[in-house]
A and B are shown apart, each in its own frame.
Chain A
């Protein structure tokens, strides 16, 4: 009977060995692995609901936000992260929350907000190992904000934190800072300048933005319009020449001005993207 008693005790304990939180957490991980991110997010929310510790709640909300990242729903990930109260959290969880917030803002293209979060981490986190993790993202954010010198400083700090020999660190530093040397920096194409150029010299704005063939095509069509207008006047078909020739010219002229402005923005976006890719390539290599 004594044996039965002890077996009963063990059996009893088995019943409580798995709590609901860990069950839901396990299910959430499985759902995320199966790419069912919405289901995983809801399961993580159940974990948040059932958890009594703010630390664990924060961890689950971070996992939930990551599920929304996977489906590019940055609004919902942001609202999940914003629910975390960083007061009373451990340094590492608070860092993770603020770093995720910064990453979320970066992915949404809100670079000023991303920078504000990163600066907050760098200013208020006492653990230097955690601060070191922010340098690369801060460097990328400064590139997006076209603050090249600040970006360079962040990348140098990042290279110094790597677990490599001094000679390798020096190579990485040279490699990444060379990307931000004056001569390698992408030239900023001012959309307003492109617009004004195309207003006075058709096709020049496109050429300024680096799109030669588009500029040439725009100029050709506008000249063709003017040629039709001239020929109409010359052959005394004033109305036809005016309507058809001027119509073609006017359409391509106003369209060309707007297009030049857009192309300058496109060129700037591409240049920054290339620079970011090169910086990420350096990080990947090492």
Chain B
């Protein structure tokens, strides 16, 4: 009886040590004390990872991010579990288009993780989506892919070609494009689409802002027509012409010093100058609109093979 009691006491004390450690870990979720970072147990982290997986399954992406933000993952232990947490929270950030968060999480997935390659590809895509093409290229270039892994090499080269096209680096775009196996089902259609985007970019004319302004000064609205906004040209011309006609009538009937003439001439001047300035700006706006449209197309064609391969 005595020995049984002793064994039981020892067992119970050990059990309570474990329970108190777990409670301490629970407390660590909200504490800001950085010295407590390494107190988390493997069981605790596994539990959190399972909860995060449950959230992902139920498409509770905001709650996934919230759960991740409540965790401290600075400790250099349990790397495999932490990698998975980084990957799943990064994926949630990507799904919610919280790109900065997604990038920072995905890049923390270590090389030993089975999620490493996917995380690197998606963080590169997030960079490109965010307009940071330099980092996107750098991330892609650093992904270690075995030379005989043709599918992944094709995906990588397509991503590189797309990102170089976003960067308008046509020389490197062509280099990456030439390395693609254009018959591969994963990238076949998207390769053709990239070529189409490249030709669309070539067709964008470099119009002069000075000429647009000059055209609008001679015939109101014609500068916008020249820039590419054909519908807006008429809308811009009508009020300018109408106020011009009223000012002219007032000039001849009421005289140049009359209140009516000064009022309508001022209104005309505002519309006239505004029209010229609008035409100058519209050259750049039109160019940006076209570029954005093409960039969106490129991003879509970079995205589809990624989903096709990894999901």
Q: Which stretch from B1-9, B102-110, B219-227 is at the chain A interface?
A: B1-9
B16 touches A1 (CB 8 A): no
- Minimal Cβ-Cβ distance residue in A for B59: A79
B243 touches A8 (CB 8 A): no
Q: Which A residues have a C-beta under 8 Å from some C-beta of B? A: 1-2, 4-5, 8-9, 11-12, 15, 38, 41-42, 45-46, 48-49, 79, 83, 236-240, 243-244, 247
- Minimal Cβ-Cβ distance residue in B for A9: B8
A42 touches B66 (CB 8 A): yes
CB contact list, B31-80 vs A, under 8 A: 50-51, 54-55, 58-60, 63, 66-67
B15 touches A45 (CB 8 A): no
**Contacting residue for B5 out of A8, A41, A45, CB 8 A:** A8
Q: Which B residues have a C-beta under 8 Å from some C-beta of A? A: 1-2, 4-5, 8-9, 12, 15-16, 19, 50-51, 54-55, 58-60, 63, 66-67, 242-243, 245-246, 248-250, 253, 260, 264
A107 to B308, CA, bound (A): 39
**Contacting residue for A2 out of B1, B15, B59, B264, CB 8 A:** B1
Residue among B242, B248, B249, B253 with the highest chain A CB neighbour number at 10 A: B249
A239 to B154, CA, bound (A): 68
Number of contacts between A and B (CB, 8 Å)? Answer: 59
Residues in A whose Cβ lies below 8 Å from that of B15: 12, 15
A238 touches B249 (CB 8 A): yes
A239 to B54, CA, bound (A): 72
A273 to B290, CA, bound (A): 47
Residues in B whose Cβ lies below 8 Å from that of A42: 63, 66-67
B249 touches A45 (CB 8 A): no
A236 to B2, CA, bound (A): 122
Residues in B whose Cβ lies below 8 Å from that of A8: 5, 8-9, 12
A45 touches B246 (CB 8 A): no
| Interchain nearest-CB distance for A253 vs B (Å) | 17
Residues in B whose Cβ lies below 8 Å from that of A49: 50-51, 54
Given contacts A4-B5, A240-B260, contact A45 B55 (CB under 8 A): yes
**Contacting residue for B250 out of A4, A38, A83, A240, CB 8 A:** A240
Task: Show 30 residue pairs from A and B whose CB-CB distance is below 8 angstroms, ordered by the A residue.
Answer: A1-B1, A1-B5, A2-B1, A2-B5, A5-B1, A8-B5, A12-B15, A15-B12, A15-B15, A15-B16, A38-B66, A41-B63, A42-B63, A42-B66, A45-B63, A46-B51, A48-B54, A49-B54, A79-B59, A237-B253, A238-B249, A239-B246, A239-B249, A240-B246, A240-B250, A240-B260, A240-B264, A243-B242, A243-B245, A243-B246
